[in-house]
Amino acid sequence: MESPELKKLDCSSLNCPMPIVKIAKAIKTMEIGEQVEVVATDPAFKADVEAWIRKTGHKMISFVEEGKSKTTVIEKTK
Amino acid sequence: MQLENQELKAYIDQLVEEKVNEKTHHFQDELKKLQESLPQNLGIQQKDKITMLITSFELDKVMPAFIIANGAASFGMEVTLFFTLWGINALKEKSIYSGKNIKEKMITMMLPSHPKTTTISRLNMMGIGTGMMKSMMQENNIETLPDLMDLSIEMGSKLIACQMTMGMMGITTDEIRDGVEYGGVALYIEEASESGVTLTF
């Protein structure tokens, strides 16, 4: 079930550092508690987004990898 | 000793409580201050800074600098890039010849006038290598250098052009793109001294 606040961010075929840049920009426009679903194909995406989460303190709700496509849901916590 | 009088007991408890608070409030204040400063000391708060020194103009040197700059800005870091010597040429948007002496005109002619026309530092092979590299980047949907530079300014990175180099090579501020600050080593050191990360390209 999807919560009504879930935003979508398509970063498919974008390369490092663009998915992280787009996530950072999207998070800035969001309210605390809102979530964003990000789809990316960058091979380094998993390692990069995990590092970004560790450093910025936002919350990763889920991470699903299907072939080249990776989907993650991030919640803004502050 | 048993205290029969409940009121007296309560009164004594209250007195003891007040006395203990009075004696320990210094420690409590200290503890509070320490707890408040802990996140900063651990670097959890977003006060990190990164500075980079760019002394080259070639694609394979300037691109990683801007990719890292944009990544760092996404982490909430303050980013400063200091361009000196050949690095100044990465900030040019055009070449102007009028008003320059013969040596300045010659160096202007030999150096790129825009990040679009910059070359790679190895295997350029009269431009064939650079062309091939650019087409490979395009096939892989990698951002172009001018786009990465525009993005870094949009993300709030500070770009500083070394005025001493500009004077030496006769490069004028009219040749430099918008969004660039001008300064010297002091401006760079000020930023670098507060940075946890400094890189050279």
Does the residue A42 lie in any domain?
A: yes
Residue A24 lies in a domain: yes
Say if the Cβ atoms of A15 and B142 lie within 8 Å: yes
A31-40, B30-39, B54-63, B126-135: least confidently modelled range: B30-39
* Full domain range(s) for residue A45: 7-75
Neighbours of A77 (CB within 10 A): 12
- What does pLDDT average to over chain A? 90
- pLDDT per residue as tens digits for the range B134-144: 999 999 999 99
Provide the CATH number for the domain around residue A11.
3.30.110.40
Q: Is residue A29 part of a domain?
A: yes
A64, B9, B14, B32 from B6: Cα distances, Å: 65, 5, 12, 35
Return the pLDDT at B37. Answer: 80
Distance (Å, whole) CA B94 – CA B115: 10
Total domains in the fold of chain A:
1
- Which CA distances in Å does B55 have to B62, B73, B173? 9, 21, 18
Higher per-residue pLDDT: B47 or B7: B7
State pLDDT tens for residues B84-133: 999 999 999 999 999 999 999 999 999 999 998 899 999 999 999 999 99
The yes-or-no verdict on residue B44 having pLDDT over 60 is no
Choose the catalytic residue: A10, A15, A16, A47. A16
In a domain, A67, yes or no: yes
Kindly state whether residue A1 falls inside one of the protein's structural domains.
no
Average pLDDT over residues B61-84: 95
Give 3-state DSSP helix, strand, coil % of chain B, rounded to 5.
55, 15, 30
Chain A nearest C-alpha distance from B42 (Å): 11
Do the domain assignments include residue A2?
Answer: no
- Which chain B positions have a beta carbon within 8 Å of A17's beta carbon? 67-68, 70-71, 74
| Both tokens assigned to B192 | 């670098």
Mean pLDDT of B178-184: 92
Are the beta carbons of A24 and B143 separated by less than 8 Å?
no
State the smallest CA–CA distance between residue B14 and chain A in angstroms: 41
State phi, psi for A9 to the nearest 5 degrees. -135, 115
